[in-house]
Structure 1
Amino acid sequence: MSIYIGIDDTDNLNSRGTGRLTRAIAAEISNICPVKGVTRHQLYYHPDIPYTSHNSCGVIHVESEDEELVPHLFKLAREEILNDFIEGSDPGLVVAHHSQILPPLVAYGIDAKSTILNQEKARLLAGNLGILLEGLGGTEDGVIGALAGVGLAFNKNDGRFLQIGNIRELTGTQSVENLLKAGVEAIFTTDGQQILEGDIFNEENKSVKPCPVNGRPVLFVEHINGCLKAVKRN
């Protein structure tokens, strides 16, 4: 079971991205408890929704049953975000124990992928579920995506892993064997073939991005010009 830390809108067009900050916070948290990984979740891409570049949020998956750890993790993440606050950003932070993530929050996360939501709904939902939520600057609109990310991450079938196991240490083309040892649990082509051997081509200096499928990090690949190329899914 897990504690989920949702983070959104911590950047501007010229700064480091929310994904990088989320991974940095995950590294700090890993000093006190196990972190399974960090996921990225794509939210609604609409001209009426303010966003920096892609309207995505980040979620840290902390492996712990301890509900008493939640306020400590909230404080740690809050301090990290405030210490690295970027002018023009509108950050939001949410920390929830898995027992707090009930069907209305899962539905909210799904809605956030195709519907314009607002802070009022996010704050009311978090309050009713007893979930820690706070805006940390600017308009504080980041609370909308941070809460949605937690619901989507809990669903275990959305987004992609920015960090899992040691995959970020492997860049460019890699063998199936190396990827499976690094944290990917399975590799499939998008048309259903499981890949058990060979090489997976990827951009130079880039790591592959497996997706959560029923919670498992699964890498999807495609046949392109006789090679297997890693797919980066939203």
Structure 2
Amino acid sequence: MTVFAGVDLLIGIDDTDDQFSPGTGRRARTLLRELAEAGLGSEAGATRHQLLVDDRVPYTSHNSSACLAWRSPGGDPHAVRYAIIEFVARFLERVCPPAADPGLAVAVPAEVGDVPALVDFGRRAKREVLQRAQARRLADELGIHLSGHGGTHDGVLGALAAVGLQLSGDDGLFITLPGLGDLPYQATVEELRAKVPIDDVRDAAGRRPGPGEQIELGDWVRPVLLDGRAVLLLDPPQERPDGPRSWRTAPRSVVKKH
């Protein structure tokens, strides 16, 4: 079982802020909480995806978008799909500033007509300047809801790309997971997994903490999406000849490359 077990709806959002307002990551966390409070299901987490940084692309600071992984009540996405689309649309129109160009994509992953085409679109958005018409055409072909909710609607590009990149299983970092905001400063792997649905904990060489070995988590814990799994990346361990190894999470500069 992976972090995405039971996920039956993906919600992509982009271009939700301006230079004076909360970023898309914070918007995603707030949206997940409000969706749950509305009784529309439960969250599996949300991932951040870095898109093309280019002067030809309007963006606020980093040009990243977010994809929210959602579990519908009773495992029936069709029972809540339209309610979620309406709820998120109202949310974006309520919280986004006038200068934002928010976009929304909602997909049932099991029913996406051509997943490789959607993944390819997401990867192209990381290296090419794309057009809104391309996003709308692809969404129509694949049966994905796509809509703009302010400004130029440019956010539809990043919203659709975020869904494709999360479906790729190999892009982005988790801006939230259940329990991620309540972690202690340090923990063992066993203690960590008791609080957060993380699939793997390792360093770049594939070494993993042993039972009882402590991991210094610090105040910024962001697992990355690798092989469809939530993986917490670590620095190489501090070896101790007379005791257990000690570990700490990889720095932001390493995590944000994903």
User: TM-score under structure 1 normalisation?
Assistant: 0.91
Q: Greater shift after overlay, 143-152 or 61-70?
A: 61-70
1:33 is aligned to 41
User: What is the identity, as a one-letter code, of the residue corresponding to 2:167?
Assistant: F
| 2:118 is aligned with 1:105 | yes
User: What is the identity, as a one-letter code, of the residue corresponding to 1:100?
Assistant: V
2:224 is aligned to 211
User: TM-score under structure 2 normalisation?
Assistant: 0.83
Structure 1 residues 190 and 29, CA, compared in 2 at 3 Å: closer, same or farther? same
- Alpha-carbon separation, structure 2, partners of 1:173 and 1:41: 27
Which string of whole-angstrom CA distances, capped at 9 and with x for unpartnered residues, describes residues 169-213 of structure 1?
11544433332222222210012112234232344xx34111122
- Alpha-carbon separation, structure 1, partners of 2:248 and 2:129: 34
Give the conservation status (yes or no) of the 8 Å contact 1:93–1:142.
yes
1:66 is aligned to 77
Give the conservation status (yes or no) of the 8 Å contact 1:185–1:217.
yes
1:17 is aligned to 23
| 2:52 is aligned with 1:44 | yes
Give the conservation status (yes or no) of the 8 Å contact 1:167–1:207.
no
CA displacement at 1:84 relative to structure 2:
0.6
Aligned length: 232
Q: Which has the higher strand share?
A: 1
Matches within 5 A, 1:1-234: 1-30=7-36, 31-64=39-72, 65-98=76-109, 99-100=111-112, 102=114, 103-170=116-183, 172-183=185-196, 184-196=198-210, 197-203=212-218, 206-223=219-236, 228-231=247-250, 232-233=255-256, 234=258
- Alpha-carbon separation, structure 2, partners of 1:119 and 1:81: 18
Give the conservation status (yes or no) of the 8 Å contact 2:173–2:222.
yes
Residue 4 of structure 1 aligns to a residue whose secondary structure is strand
- Alpha-carbon separation, structure 1, partners of 2:226 and 2:30: 24
- Alpha-carbon separation, structure 2, partners of 1:101 and 1:141: 24
Structure 1: state its 5+ residue gaps.
Answer: none
Structure 2: state its 5+ residue gaps.
Answer: 1-6, 240-245
Give the conservation status (yes or no) of the 8 Å contact 1:40–1:58.
yes
Residue 13 of structure 1 aligns to a residue whose secondary structure is coil
- Alpha-carbon separation, structure 2, partners of 1:158 and 1:85: 26
Q: CA RMSD in A?
A: 1.9
Dislocated runs of 4+, deviation >4 Å: 224-227
Structure 1 residues 9 and 93, CA, compared in 2 at 3 Å: closer, same or farther? same
CA displacement at 1:224 relative to structure 2:
7.5
Give 1 or 2 for the bigger CA radius of gyration: 2
